[in-house]
Amino acid sequence: MTNPNHPSVDQSDREVPINLRQSGRTPVQMLISTRVRKSPFWHLSHEAGCWRATVYNRIYHPRGYIKPEDGGAMVEYEALVNRVTMWNVAVERQIRVKGPDAEAFTDFVITRDATKIKPGNGKYAILCNDKGGVLNDPVLLRLTEDEFWFSISDSDLLLWLQGVNISKKYNVVIDEIDVCPVQIQGPLSEDLMAKLAGEELREVPYYGIMETKIGGADVVISQTGFTGEKGYEIYVRDAHENAEKVWNAVLEGGEEFGLMVIAPAHHRRIAAGILSWGQDLDHETSPFQVNLSYQVPRNKEADYIGKEALEAQRAVIDAGDFPFKMRMVGLTFGGKQITDYAPDFWLIADEDGNDMGYITSPWWSPELNTNIGLGWVPWSSSDTGTKLQVRLPDEYSESSGVSVPGVVVDLPFRESVTPNIREVKKDVGLDYAE
């Protein structure tokens, strides 16, 4: 009997293999209870039409506003790429590191050089364990000389940072703060944000920070986001008191721009080649496997967690080899239009039909008129132009049980409006750059 977890896909690099059983859209109902946190925007999302959710960072996370019968996620996509959208992303919990040793501590836990992040600016960063596995990939904001905010992806970074400092004893306070963000994304986002925050908003550079008020509430604004479109994040201070003030001010100000409240735009972030922690990578993933080598500096003299392992991995790559079995690639493939989240990691096979990998993030690209996706394949099958097959479920396949053709392509699928340093890079040996 064939193992339902598909052992022909080589996961020998992992202690815990990815579950590749194909269970499909298993019907379940989410239990809403006090076991999982409700964000300050949760009720506002439901007023805006949220009809489904998941859990992210142990917080309920809205993931759909337009019902399938009304066009579903692709209606939200149209609003994002043509107008402006607001997202409830309070799940990006804000972990603050504050104190005299804030810079030194942050420099020790991230791979890039924290000393080069000037107050009033941010960077995309990764934190690794001692094996070089990516623990989290936050947007890191440096508000002042002695205060950093880690706007985290889906892993409990607070406990890790506190644990690290038990033995290191840096002079810092590490805590979660009552700050929750919303994202304002789309080509009209700058005009909306300038209306809300003043014309000086237009001078905020990519990854720059501005402190102001919206709706009478104190906020921090950064030019960042989880898409390849122009966009901003509004970090609401004292969010449990101020959530309604900011949310309603954005709704009112956005009327003239056709603002729509939508779910996080995974369809657009895939097109931009942006990774999603927990879906595309996790703590058993090296940055070199997902082409985040630019986050691993060659010239950082200070020690940091994972440095020894990562430098050893890079030495193997510099010698012309690859120290892992699998690598993430971009691919285009056939089949019917994928216009919703995949419930499984769909299998990838070679041209002879031998299963060898799996897709983590698929979607339909209207601009390219094809299905696109990020996926894991053997290193030997990762070159651009490599032909393969994708085993789609019946709802997306042209014929039941028949695989569709695909090909490995360069990333990103679509260029970003701003230079997006969260993109999957093509060259795993790319040198580090600020």
DSSP 345-397: --EEE-TTS-EEEEEEEEEEETTTTEEEEEEEEEGGG-STT-EEEE---TTT-
Residues 6 or more apart whose Cβ sits within 8 Å of residue 249: 196, 214, 215
Distance CA 193, CA 204 (A): 11
Task: Label the pairing between strands 326-333 and 370-378.
Answer: antiparallel
Mean pLDDT across the chain: 95
What residue spans define the domains of the chain? 1-30+265-286+324-434, 42-92+179-264
Do 42-92+179-264 and 1-30+265-286+324-434 fall under one CATH topology? yes
Query: What does the pLDDT read at residue 420?
Result: 52
The Cα–Cα gap between 148 and 125 comes to: 12
Taking CA atoms, 122 is separated from 181, 205, 282, in Å, by 15, 10, 23
DSSP string, 61-85: EEEESS-GGGTTHHHHHHHHHHS-E
| Cα dihedral across residues 331, 337, 340, 346: positive or negative | negative
Region class of 278: left (phi > 0), else alpha (psi between -120 and 50), else beta = left
pLDDT for residue 13: 94
From 288, 185, 166, select the one nearest 228 (Cα to Cα).
185
Distance from C-alpha of 374 to C-alpha of 252, rounded to nearest angstrom: 37
* CA atoms of 178 and 41, how far apart (whole Å): 13
Are the beta carbons of 87 and 185 closer than 8 angstroms? yes
What string of pLDDT tens digits covers the 434 residues of the chain? 467 899 999 999 999 999 999 999 999 999 999 999 999 999 999 999 999 999 999 999 999 999 999 999 999 999 999 999 999 999 999 999 999 999 999 999 999 999 999 999 999 999 999 999 999 999 999 999 999 999 999 999 999 999 999 999 999 999 999 999 999 999 999 999 999 999 999 999 999 999 999 999 999 999 999 999 999 999 999 999 999 999 999 999 999 999 999 999 999 999 999 999 999 999 999 999 998 999 999 999 999 999 999 999 999 999 999 999 999 999 999 999 999 999 999 999 999 999 999 999 999 999 999 999 999 999 999 999 999 999 999 999 988 889 999 999 999 999 888 765 444 444 444 444 44
Question: Which residue in this structure is represented by tokens 């439901």?
Answer: 46
Determine the Cα–Cα distance for residues 1 and 339; give it in Å rounded to an integer: 34
Residue 419 has what pLDDT? 60
Spatial strand order of the sheet with 121-124 comes to 121-124, 139-144, 147-151, 94-98, 173-176
Tell me yes or no: is domain 1-30+265-286+324-434 CATH 3.30.1360.120: yes
Count of CB atoms within 10 A of residue 257's CB? 17
**How buried is 34 (Cβ within 10 angstroms: 0-12 exposed, 13-18 middle, 19+ buried)?**
exposed
- Is the separation of the CB atoms in 240 and 271 below 8 Å? no
Q: Do the beta carbons of residue 392 and residue 375 sit within 8 Å?
A: no
pLDDT of residue 333: 98
CB atoms within 10 A of CB 188: 20
Burial-class residue 29 by CB neighbours within 10 Å (0-12, 13-18, 19+). exposed
Instruction: Quote the DSSP letter at residue 177.
Output: -
Predicted confidence at residue 415, as pLDDT, reads 87
List the CATH code of the domain at 42-92+179-264. Answer: 3.30.1360.120
